[in-house]
Structure 1
C-alpha cells in the first residue's frame, strides 16, 4: 500500500530589531513598494477591470517598475501581489462574501481598483531575503541596496522550526511601530495511530471548552477582559477623533491576539492529553452556528465575536501534526442526551450548568455530559469511517464481479 505524505503549512513570526540606520531604509522601501503596487493595480483595473493576470500585467508594468529602481525579483513580486489581490477579490465575489449583485458593498468593490496601504506587508523570496540562523540575522533587499545583519528575535521553539522546516516566501510586516517577518514552514504530518478511545470537546461561551474527562477551560477571566475592552471602546468611540479611531483599531488587534493566544493554550492542552493517553479527539461540527442558534441579548456580542472556528482549527492542525486522530460529529442534542441510558429530552437540562436525566437519574455538569456524548459519537464515527470496504464477490465461471 502506498502511503502519501501530507504536509502541514504553518507560519512562524519573528520580530526584527533594525538599528537607527536600517529602520528608515526598510520603511522607505515598504512605502515605495506599496505605491508601486497601487500604480500597477490602477493599470490592471483600467485595462482588465477585475480580470487581470500576472502575464498581462507583466507586459504592461515590468519595464516601468525596472525603470523606477526595483530589481527583477522585486518587480515580479509586486506584479504577483496585485494579480493575487484581484484573484482573491473575484473569489470573494463568486462566494457571495461581498453580498448580492446589487449590494452597496459589492458595487463599491467592483467600481475601483484594489488599494494597498502604505505599510501593507510585502513578500520576499530567498533571492531577496536570506536568513542566518546561527547569528539570528537576516539580509533584506531594499531600494538602497542590500541591508545586512538585521537582527531578529524569537523563541527557541520557533527558531528550531525555522531551521528545520522553513520553505518558500516570507512577509515583511510593519505593525504598531514594530517590524516582523512571517515565514512559512512545511511540516510532514505524523502518521495517525489507532486510538484507544476518544476525548470529546464541547465548546461554549461561558465555558470555552469542556472535555469528556471533566477538564473545564472556563471563560470567566476572558469575559472580564472583553467587558473591560468594550468599555474602553465605548469611551474612544464617543470622542469621534482621528486618533481615537486609530486607538480603536489598535485595541481590536490586541483583543484578537489575546483570543488567539487563549485558543492556542486550550488546543495545546487538549492535544497533549490525547497524545499522552493514545486517544483521538472528537469535536462538534459547528458550521453555521450563528445562524442556527439564538442566545439571550446579553450573550449576542460574545457569541458573534468569539472565534469558535479558530479553536477547532487549532485543535485540528495540532492533532494532525502529532498523529492524533481527529473527527467532527453532529452536535444535535449532545447536551440533552443522557450518556448512560440515551434518554433525550429538553427537561434533562433545566439550567445552563446542570444536567439531570429524568429516566435514570444521572446528574452532573451539563458541559461535561455533552463532552461525553461527543466522545461516544466520535468513537462510533471513527469505526464507521475507517471500516474497510467489503471484498468483491466473483461469480465462478461468469467472469463478472458482484458488488
Structure 2
C-alpha cells in the first residue's frame, strides 16, 4: 500500500506538471498582453475548467486544486527561466507568474513568493521587478444575513496594483458541517453583489435584506473560506473551481482588514444551553398532553449536539428548511436506525421551539416543519459520499 501511494503521488505530480505547463504556455501566448484584471480572471476561469474536467477522471489519477496550485507556480517560473538572454521575452511569462501568485491563498502564496525571490536572485543579469503586493480590502466590508439567519452575503471592495476597485461577493451557507462558500465572484458594485446573492438565496429568505457594515468580526472569520488541502469536502462545480483559490486569497485580505478587537462577547446559544432550554420547554408545554420519553434528556442532548456540527455557536439558534433537511441526513447517517428515529421524531418540536425562541415569522417557521417530519429536500442531492453541501440552495 505504501508503494502504491507513492506511485499515485508521483503520477499525479507528473500530470499536474504537464497540465500546468500547457496552461501557462497557453496563457502566455493568448492573454499575457491583456490588462492584469483580464489575465487574472483568465487564470481562474481556465483553472476552473481543468479542475471540472478532472472530476470525471478516476480517483487515483484525479488532480485537486492543491495539486495544480504549486504546479502552476513551477511552470510559470520555468517559462520565465527559458527566456534567458532574450530582451523582453520574460515579460509575458512573468505577468502570468505574478497573476498566479496573486490568486493563491496560504500556504501556496508563500511558495509563489519564495519562487519569485529565487528567480530574481538568479536572473542572469536581467533586472526582474519585485513581486506586486497582493490584493487588499480597501474600504468598508459589508455583509447581510437571510431571514433564517444561516445564509450570509459578504461583500468587500478589493484592489490590486493598477486595477480598479471591484466588489467581491461570498455567498456563504452555514447549514452544513462547516460554513461553505456556495458562490463567489467579482461584481461592479455592492448593489450588484447584493442582488446576485438575493437571487441565489431566493425571494422568501432574502426579502428586505440589506448590506451593512460587519459588526461581528469573529463570526466573519469563521465564515470566510480557508485553504483545506486534502481535507476539502469536494464536489465543486466548474464555477466554484474557478474561484476556489481566489475566494480564499481574498478572504485572507478581508480578515486582515477586519480584525477582531478585544474579547469576543459571549451569551449565545450552544449545544449545552440549548439542550437544557429545549427540555424545559418540552416539559412545560407537553407534560399534560403526552408522556415524554424516559430517556428524553439523553435524546435532547444528542439532538442538540447534532444540530450544529460546524461548531459556529453564532449560528446555533438558526433554523431553515435546508438546515433541517441536512440535520435529518446527518442523524440517519450517524446513529443506529432505532435511535435515529427517536431523534428525528423530536425535530418538529425542536423547530417549533427555535421558532418561538427566535420570534421567527410563521411563514418562515412553517416551511421548516415538513423537512423535520422527513420530507426530502429537492435541492439537496445525496450520493455515496453524502449530501451536496456546496449546492446553492434557494430557500
- For Structure 1 versus Structure 2, the TM-score category normalised by the shorter chain is under 0.3
Name which one, 1 or 2, has greater alpha-carbon Rg.
1
Q: Which has the higher strand share?
A: 1
